[in-house]
Amino acid sequence: MDPLSPLSSLSYDVGDFLYVIPIAIPALFGMIVLILDIYLGRGSNKTPLALTSGLGCLLTAVAAWALWAPATGAPVMAGTLAPSAFGAVAALAILIGTTLIGFSVAHHSQSADGVGVDLGRSIAHGELYGLLLFATSGMLAMTIANDMVTFFVAIETLSIAVYALTGVERRRARSAEGAMKYFVLGAFSAAFLLYGMSLLYGATGTMRLDVLAETAIKPSDLPMATVGGTLILIGLLFKVGAVPFHAWVPDAYEGAPSAVTGFMSIGVKVAAFAGMFRIVEGLGACGALGADLAGSPVGSWVLWFVAALTVIGGNAGALTQRNPRRLMAYSGIAHTGYLLVALVAFTRQFGHSSDALNMTYAAHDAAAGLLFYLLAYALANAGVFAVINHLERRGEDVDSLDDLAGLAHTQPRSALVMAVCLLSLAGIPGTAGFLGKLWVFRAGVASGDVGLVVLALMASAISLYYYLRIVVIMYMREPQAGTAGASSEDPQRWCSRLAILVAGVLTIWLGVYPPNAILKLVVDGAQALVH
Amino acid sequence: MFPKETALLPAIILIPLLGALFNGLFGKRLGKGIVSTVAVAAPLIAFFFAAALFFGLHAADHGPLLSQTSVVVLKAKKDTAGSSLPGRLNKARRELGKRDDLFKIPEIEGKDRNQVLRLVGPASLAGDEALKTLAHRHNLVVAPAASAAPRSYRYNLGTWIHVGNFKVDFEFVVDRLSIILMLVITGVGFLIHLYSTDYMGAEPRGTYARYFSYLNLFIASMLVLVMGGNLLILFIGWEGVGMCSYLLIGFDYEDAKKAACGTKAFVVNRIGDMGVVLGMFCLLAALAETTAGGTLSLNFQTLNLALGGSTLNAGLIGAGCLLLFFGCTGKSAQIPLHLWLPDAMAGPTPVSALIHAATMVTAGIYLIARMSPIFAGAEVIGVPVLGIVALIGGLTAFFAGAAAIGQDDIKKVLAYSTVSQLGYMFLGVGALAMGAAVFHLVAHAFFKAVLFLGAGAVIHATHTQSMRRMGGLKNYMPTTYWTMAIGALALAGFPLLSGFFSKDMILLATLLRAKAAGAHWIWYVLYLLGLGTGFLTAVYSTRLIGMTFWGDYRGGGPGGRHPHAAPSAMALPLFVLGVLTIGAALLGLPALAAWMEPGAEILPHYLAPVVAQASDYLVNYPAVSSELYHRYEIGGLLVGAMASLFGVAVGWKIWGSRAPSQVGWESQVSGQLASIRQVLANAWYYDEWVNKRFVQPAVLYLSALLWEHVDDNAIDRGLVDGTGRVAVQLSLFTRVFQTGHVARYAAYFVVGAVVILASVHLYSI
C-alpha cells in the first residue's frame, strides 16, 4: 500500500503493540506505585515504593533491549513509532537516571532516627515515584516517536510530569518558584515547537519523520519549511538548555529538590537529545534546515554558534557557583554544548559538500558518540546526585559546596564515587565520560569542525576547575560540624548506597573496558539513524 | 628461533623493576630484612637469567645455524649483459617498496657497487616465490648472501610507535655485546647491593627502602639501555639511568649541597641528552633518504646496515654521529661535560661504585660500539668522527688523570680516575678497537668497583673522606687493604693484572692507527698521551694507597675511636671483586705467540661477529703486517709496563718512603710546586671557568629573562592567571543575566529566536 495514502496511515499490525510495551510498563508501574502508597499509609517506610519503581524500570530496560534493539527503525503503529537500537540506548540512559535517582531518595521519608516524619520536607511519597515513572514513559516515547504529533504528546507527557516534580516539595517557596518559572517558559517553548510543526506540515503535508525525510519540498514551499524547521529547532534547544535558551535551567535546578534535579538533568536531557537527533534527521533530509552555506545547511551553522555559546556559557557560569545544584545546572548546560558539537557534526551530512562520504561517516560517528555520551553522562550525573541525595536528611540540605567538606574522611565510599563521577563529567581518561567526549569530538573533527572542537576542549579544560574544586573540598578540607559532610555513613540507607555503588562501578567499567554488547548497541543505534 | 629463553628477556628487566616497585611502595612499612632480601635477590636472579642467556647464545653458536633474519642479494643473471643493470635493480627496488617486511640496501661502495641489491628480511626470504618471480621479470636472480645478523635473542613486545612509514617496536635484543654488559651490570650490581645492606644499615627504615628502590630501578633502567633493540628503547634506559643517578646523588636531599650536586649532574646530562635526541633525528633523516620511502625504524641492525659506510648522506650521518658522541660525553663524563662526575661523589659510596664507575658512565662506550659500523665511516667536514672521539678521550684521560693527583678526598681521586679511565675507553673506541674498549670497560668495572667499595669501607670506618685524616689503616682493616691494593695495582696497569692488558690493548690499537697508511700525526700524540696517562695513573694509585693505608693513623683525635674492619657483607663483595680483578686478565691475554692471529684475544674475538670493528686490526690497517703486529704488541707491553712501574716507583718514593709524620708535606710545599698542586687540586680550574663563562651569565641573563619575564610575568601572570581571570569575569558576566525574572528569561528566548530566524532568513530564503 502506498505509504502516503490516508488509509495507510491508519493501518497497523497487532504485533506492533509489542513495541509499545517499554513505554507502557513505566506508566503501569506509576499507577501501581500510587496505589501502593495508599496501602502503605502516611509516615511509613517508603522503601517498597522505590523497590517497585526500580522493578518497573528493570522490566522496561529488559523490554527495551529485547524489543527495540533488534528493530531496524522501520515505522510501526501506523507510522507513529520507529523503534530501533537508537531508542534502546537512549532508553537505557533514561532508565539509569530514573532507577538510581529513585533508589537514592528511598529513605528520604524516614527521619534520621526512624521515628518521626516531617511531611513538609518529605518528598519520597507516592507522587514522587508516580511522576518519575510517568515522565519516564513520556521520555521513552520521545526517543522512538516517528510522528510529530506523537513526539509532541510525548514531550508534553514528560514536561508536565517534570513541572509537577519541580514543585513537589510544596511547602518550600523555591520549589514552587522553580516549578512556575519552568512551566511558563516551557509553555513558551512548546508554542514555538508546535508552531514550527504546523508550518512544516503546511509545507510538506506530512507529520511522519520517515516520510518527511523522503519528501521533496517544492521550492515555493521551502521558506515555510525552513522557518518551521528553525522554530522546531529553537523549541528543542530550549529543552536541552542551550544558550541563549538556558535561563530557566539554573533556577529550575536550584528550586527543585535534589532528587528531582538529578532526574531532570538526566532524563529530560537524554530524551530531548535523542528526539532532537531524530527530528533533525528528518528536517535535514527534506531541506528544512535551510539552504547550503559553504557546503552545509544554514541550520548547522546556527547550531555551530549555539554550540560555541553553550560550551562557553555553561562552563563560565559554573565557575563561580557555590550551590551544588546550580553548579550541576551549568555543568549540564556545558554538556549540552558538547553534545551540540555532535549535532553539528551530524548535520554536516545534509549539505552538498564535496566530501559527502566523509560527512556520512562523521554523522555516523556523531550519532554513536551521542549515544555513548548520554550513557556516560547519565551514569555520572546519577552518581553525583545519588551522593547528594544520600547526604540530604531532614533539615540537612546540601545547599552549599562547603557542606561536602571532609566527606572523604566521614564517608570515604560516597566521596570516592562522587569524585569518580565528577572526573567522568570532566572527561578524565579511565572514566566513561572520557570515551564519550573522545567519540563526540572525533566526530566533530571528522566533519571538519576543528575550531569548534578546540573551543569545546578548552572549555572542558576550564570545567576541570569546578569539578576538581568539589573533589578538593571533599578530600582536603576538615569536616565541619553540623553539615552533611560531617555525618558518617548510615548503614540503614542501603538503597541509596546501592545506587551510589552502581553508578561508580559502571562509570569506571564503561570507561576502562566498555562491554562489547553496549558498544554494538551504540553502533547499531547510530546505524539505524544514519542510513 | 629461541623459543624458551626469549621469555627471559622481559623477565630480566621486570625483576629489578618489580623489586623497585615493591620496596618503593611497601618497603617503608616492612622490616629492613625483607627490604634487603628483595633488593639483593632481584639483581642476583637477573644475573642468573643473564647467565642462562649467555650459555644459550653459546649453545646456539655451536648448534645448527639459527638466524631470524636472512640476507639475499639480487644480481644479474649470468647470461645477460650488465649494461642496464643499475636501472633494472632500481626498478626491482621500487617494486619491492610495497613490501614492508624487507629492507633494501643498495651496495654503495666496493666492487659490487650498482651490481647487486641487498635485501634483509625474514628467514624464509631465500625461498620466497614472489621474490623469485619478481627477480626473474627483471632478468635478475636471487642469491643468498652472508648473514648480516649474528645470532641474538630478540623479544618484541609489539609496535610502540607507528606513524606513516616510521615504525618503532618495543623490542629487546640480546647479543654478544649486550650480554657482556648485562653480566657486568647484574653481577657487579648484585655485589654492590649486598655491600649496601651493611653500608646503609644505619639509615632509618624509610630511607633504607628508598635507597634500595632507587638502586633496583637503576639496574632495570641500565638493562633496558643495553638490551634495547633500537635507539629509542636505548634512550628510555639512557634517561632512566640518568634519573636514578640524579636521585641517588642527591639521595641525602636534606643536605642542600648534595642536592645541588644531583641537580648539576642532571643538568649537565640533560645537555648531553639533547645531543642524543638530535643525533637520532639526523640518523633518521639520513635513513629516510637512503631507503627512499621504505619503512623507517631506529632499529640498530637496520641503521647499521643502511648507514654503515654510506656516502649518500655523509653530512647527516656525520652530524648525527657527532651529536650522539656529544651525548656520550655527557653520560660518560668526557670533556667538555665531564664536570658533573666528581660532584656525583656526593651520593652514597656504593652508588658511586655501581653507577658512577662500573655501569652507567660506560653507556657512551656501549652506544658507539653498538653503532660502530656507522661511526667508523662517519666524517664531519673531512674529519673522521672517531678521530674526534679518540682525541677527546685522550685529552680527558690525561687531564683527569693529572687532576686525580691533586685530590685529597679519597672519592674525588677515584672520580677523576674514572673520568680518566673512561677517556682511555674512548681512545680505544676512537682507534677502532671496540673490543679493547669493552675489555677495558669490564676490567675497569671490576677494579674500580673494588676501589670504591674499599673506599666506602674506609669512610665507613674513619667517618671522613679526607685522606689526610687517614693513614695506617693497613693494620686495622687488612682485607680492605689487600683487595684495594690489588685494585689499585690493576688500575695502575701493573704487569699481569687486568688493567695492564686492557690498557695495553688500547694503546696498541692507537699505535697501529698511527702507523696506518695516511694516518694523521695526531695519533702519535694520542699514543703518547695514553702512555703518559698510564704513568700518572700509577702515581695517583700509589698515592691513594699510601695516604690511606701506610704510615700512622692520623684521624680520630683525642679519645677518638679506632677504625674498625669491614663487616662481612662488605668484605665479601670486596673479596669477590678482587678475585675478578685478577681473573679478568684472562679475557684479554695478548696474542703474543707468532702463531696467534692478531685480534685473537678472547673478548675481542668473542665480540667480533657483533661489533664490526671489534678486532680486525688487519682489515682496518692494511699497512700493518701480522709480523709487525706481533712486534708492536711485545714492544707496547714492555713500554706500558715501564710507564706503570716508573709511576708506582715515583709514588712509592713520594708517599711511601717518607716518615709517617711527613705525609702532610703536600700542604707545605711552596713555589712552583705549590701552584701546580693548586691547579691539579682544582682540576685545571675547568669548573670555575665554566661557572664564570657559562653558568653565571646564564643565571644572570638567560635565567632572569626566562624565569622572571617569560615564566613569572608572561606565563604565570599572563597566561595562567589571565585565563583564570578571564574565565571568572566571564562567569560573573553570565550571572548578571540570571536575575530570576521570568519575563526577562522569556525576552532572552525571544531575542535568541529572532536572531536565529533572521540569520536563517538572511542566508537561506
Mean of the per-residue pLDDT values of chain B: 84
CA-closest candidate to residue B527, choices B347, B691, B390, B323: B390
State the average pLDDT for chain A. 88
Subunit contact B756:A234, Cβ cutoff 8 A:
yes
Predicted confidence (pLDDT) at residue A478 exceeds the cutoff of 80: yes
Residue of chain B minimizing CA distance to A255: B740
Highest mean pLDDT: which range of A448-462, A479-493, B722-736: A448-462
**pLDDT higher at A303 or B657:** A303
**Which of these ranges, A154-158, B49-53, B232-236, B462-466, has the smallest mean pLDDT?**
B462-466
For this complex, say whether ipTM is above 0.90: no
- Count of domains for chain B: 4
Same domain, B225 and B312: yes
Chain A, chain B: beta-carbon pairs less than 8 Å apart? 98
Looking at residue B684, the DSSP 8-state letter turns out to be G
* Structure-block grid coordinates of residue B660: 709517617
Percent of chain B residues topping a pLDDT of 70: 86
Bridge partner list, B119: B72, B104
Minimum Cα–Cα distance from B756: chain A residue: A302
**The three cell numbers locating residue B263:** 641537580
Query: Is A121 or B373 the better-scoring residue by pLDDT?
Result: B373
Residues B421, B366 share a domain: no
Beta-carbon separation of A298 and B759 below 8 A? yes
Contacts of B760 in chain A (CB under 8 A): 226-227, 230, 290, 298-299, 302
- Mean pLDDT to the nearest integer, B412-439: 92
Mean pLDDT (whole number) for B589-596: 68
What confidence category does residue B202 fall into, taking pLDDT thresholds of 50, 70 and 90? confident
pLDDT at residue A120 above 60? no
Residues of B in contact with A189 (CB under 8 A): 749
Same domain, B300 and B204: yes
Read off the pTM: 0.68
The predicted pLDDT at position B735 comes to 82
CA distances from A493 to A47, A55, A111, A452, A484 (A): 10, 18, 11, 44, 15
CB contact under 8 A, B763 and A298: yes
Region of residue B108 (phi > 0: left; psi between -120 and 50: alpha; otherwise: beta)? alpha
Overall average pLDDT of the B82-96 stretch? 71
Report residue B64's pLDDT band, with 50, 70 and 90 as the boundaries. Answer: very low
Best residue of A183, A230, A322 to probe chain B, by most B CBs closer than 10 Å: A230
Q: What is the pLDDT of residue B764?
A: 72
CB pair distance less than 8 Å for A293 and B730: no
Interface test with B, best of A177, A183, A188 (most B CBs within 10 A): A188
- Residue numbers in A near B763 (CB within 8 A): 290-291, 293, 298, 301
Task: Looking at the complex, report in whole angstroms how far the Cα of residue A244 sits from the nearest Cα belonging to chain B.
Answer: 6
B730 and chain A in contact, CB less than 8 A: yes
Does one domain contain both B497 and B559? yes
Q: Is the peptide bond before A244 cis (omega within 30 degrees of 0)?
A: yes
- State the pLDDT at residue A525: 93
Residue in A closest to B744 by C-alpha: A247
**Mean pLDDT of the region B696-706:** 84
A233: chain B residues, CB-CB within 8 Å: 756
- Let me know the angle formed at the C-alpha of B477 by B472 and B482, rounded to the nearest 5 degrees: 90
Place of cell 550571572: B735
Q: What are the DSSP calls for A66-101, one per residue? A: IIITT-BS--BTTTTB--BHHHHHHHHHHHHHHHHH
Cβ contacts of B327 within 8 Å, gap of 6 or more: B238, B272, B273, B274, B275, B276, B279, B364, B367
Q: Please state the φ and ψ torsions of residue A448, each to the nearest 5 degrees.
A: 90, 5
- The 3-state DSSP class for residue A396 equals strand
The residues, any chain, with a CB within 8 Å of residue B127's CB and separated by 6 or more, are none
Closest among B315, B309, B319, B280 to B106, alpha carbons compared: B309
On whether any CB of chain A is under 8 Å from the CB of B722, the answer is no
**Same domain membership, residue B174 and residue B143:** no
What pLDDT is attached to residue A108?
66
B448-468 mean pLDDT: 89
B484 and B586 assigned to the same domain? yes
- Mean pLDDT throughout B311-318? 86
Quick one: pLDDT band at residue A82, thresholds 50, 70, 90?
very high
A318 touches chain B (CB under 8 A): yes
Among B724, B731, B760, whose Cβ lies nearest the Cβ of A298? B760
Long-range contacts (CB closer than 8 Å, 24 or more residues apart) made by B512-516: B512/B431, B512/B617, B512/B621, B512/B624, B512/B629, B512/B632, B513/B390, B513/B431, B513/B432, B513/B620, B513/B621, B515/B621, B515/B623, B515/B624, B515/B628, B515/B632, B516/B620, B516/B621, B516/B622, B516/B623, B516/B624
Can the peptide bond before residue B336 be classed as cis, meaning omega within 30 degrees of 0? yes
Boundary residue ending a domain (B381, B407, B442): B381
- pLDDT tens profile A388-413: 988 876 556 688 888 888 888 888 89
Task: Sort B420 into a burial class: Cβ within 10 Å, 0-12 / 13-18 / 19+.
Answer: buried
Mean pLDDT over B405-422 rounds to 93
Domain coverage including residue B511: 389-681
Range among A90-99, A484-493, B511-520, B694-703 rated most confident: A90-99
Residue A449 has pLDDT above 80, yes or no: yes
Instruction: State residue B699's pLDDT score.
Output: 81
- Give Cβ neighbours of residue A159 (< 8 Å, ≥ 6 apart): A138, A186, A190
Span of A8-12, A14-18, A225-229, B400-404 with lowest mean pLDDT: A8-12
**If you average pLDDT over residues A230-249, what whole number do you get?**
93
Measured between alpha carbons, how far is A278 from A87 in angstroms, rounded to an integer? 10
Domain boundary among B315, B348, B381: B381
Whether chain B has a CB inside 8 Å of the CB on A460: the answer is: no
SS in 3 state form for A295-314? CEEHHHHHHHHHHHHHHHHH
Whether residue A316 and residue B734 make contact (CB cut-off 8 A), yes or no, is yes
Residue B104 has pLDDT above 60, yes or no: no
Q: Do residues B431 and B285 both lie within one domain?
A: no
Let me know whether B623 and B698 are in one domain.
no
Q: What is the pLDDT of residue A158?
A: 93
B140 in Cβ contact with B77 (< 8 Å)? yes
Q: Domain check: are B33 and B12 in the same one?
A: yes
Q: Which residues of B touch A182 (CB under 8 A)?
A: none
AA identity, residue B370: R
Indicate whether B259 and B393 sit together in one domain: no
Sign for the pseudo-dihedral over CA of B89, B92, B97, B103: negative
Judged by CB atoms closer than 8 Å, whether chains meet at B764 and A192 is answered as no
What is the pLDDT confidence band of residue B108, given thresholds at 50, 70 and 90?
Answer: very low
Which domain-ending residue is among B632, B660, B681?
A: B681
Q: What is the reported pLDDT for A425?
A: 95
Query: Above 90 in pLDDT, residue B602?
Result: no
What is the mean pLDDT of the segment spanning B603-632? Answer: 66
B19 and B74 co-located in one domain:
no
Kindly report, residue by residue over A99-113, the tens digit of the pLDDT.
999 888 877 654 444
pLDDT, tens digit, for every residue of A308-328?
999 999 999 998 888 999 999
* Predicted pLDDT of residue B365: 94
CATH code of the domain in which B80 resides:
3.30.70.100
Distance from C-alpha of A384 to C-alpha of B131, rounded to nearest angstrom: 63
User: Contacts of residue A293 in chain B, CB cutoff 8 Å?
Assistant: 763-764
Q: Which of B738, B759, B764 sits opposite A250 (nearest CB)?
A: B738
Residue-level pLDDT at A77: 85
B480 and B626 housed in the same domain: yes
Average of per-residue pLDDT across B531-549: 92
**Per-residue pLDDT tens digits for B252-298:** 888 899 999 999 999 999 999 999 999 999 999 998 887 777 788 88
